[in-house]
Amino acid sequence: MQKDKAYITFLAGRARLRDRAAFETLVQHFSPRLFAHAYRLLGHREEARDAVQEAWVDITRGLKSLRDDTAFMAWAYRITSRRCARQIDRNIKVRAHAPDMPEPVFEEASSVRAAIDRLKPVLAATIRLFYIEEMSLREVGLAMGVPQGTVKSRLAQARNELKSHLKGYEDDKY
């Protein structure tokens, strides 16, 4: 793991210096992970692909201003998260004008995923980055643009909400 981080740091530094091969390696390495992150936030493949493509454009433009090469991964996730947040805002505006949709039916195998989906987007993103992407508190904070204390409080709030969502599910189940 430490070896991977050192390699990513090296590639980020080389890419910042306009090394095309290093940048292409970063794209190959991170695109699937950024897509998975965007898909978990947005829930739609095409929207996730678009968000990741737009994020790579932003990353390309902003790479020269990246001050800490060790922060590349969190920085890339942060840019992707912001792109997803913009898409979520657009979706909310569209849904406000759409007729009411029925709530999804939760299946036993997807109860945790469904509970995460019911969280506020910022709490769901925090849970996904910390537990699914296995980012540290510092990395989640960088990715979301908030202090570590805020990450901790969001994780605590999300865990409490998940407990209540899943408790309700368990009560209904039996």
The pTM for the full model equals 0.62
The torsion defined by the Cα of 152, 158, 49 and 99, in degrees rounded to 10, comes to: -150
Domain limit, last residue, from 48, 80, 101: 101
Reading the block at residue 79, the tokens are 């840019």
Indicate whether 12 and 43 sit together in one domain.
yes
Indicate whether 11 and 97 sit together in one domain.
yes
Q: Could you tell me the residue range of the domain that residue 40 belongs to? A: 1-101
Indicate whether 27 and 96 sit together in one domain.
yes
Q: What is the reported pLDDT for 106? A: 43
Indicate whether 94 and 119 sit together in one domain.
no
User: How far apart, in whole angstroms, are the C-alpha atoms of residue 136 and residue 133?
Assistant: 9
Mean pLDDT for the stretch of residues 126-141: 83
User: What is the b/e burial string over 62-83, where b = at least 16 CB atoms within 10 angstroms of the residue's CB?
Assistant: ebeebeebebbbbbbbbbbbbb
- On whether the CB atoms of residues 34 and 135 are closer than 8 A, the answer is no
Q: Is the dihedral of CA 16, 148, 153, 156 positive or negative?
A: positive
User: How far apart, in whole angstroms, are the C-alpha atoms of residue 140 and residue 134?
Assistant: 9
Q: What is the CATH number of the domain that holds 11?
A: 1.10.1740.10
| Structural domains of the chain, count | 2
Reading the block at residue 33, the tokens are 């992970």
Instruction: State percent of the chain over pLDDT 70.
Output: 84
- Check pLDDT > 50 for residue 36: yes
Candidate from 32-41, 51-60, 101-110 with smallest mean pLDDT: 101-110
Domain limit, last residue, from 47, 79, 101: 101
**For 84-112, how does the pLDDT look when each residue is reduced to its tens digit (9 = 90+)?**
888 877 776 776 565 555 544 445 436 77
Domain limit, last residue, from 42, 70, 101: 101
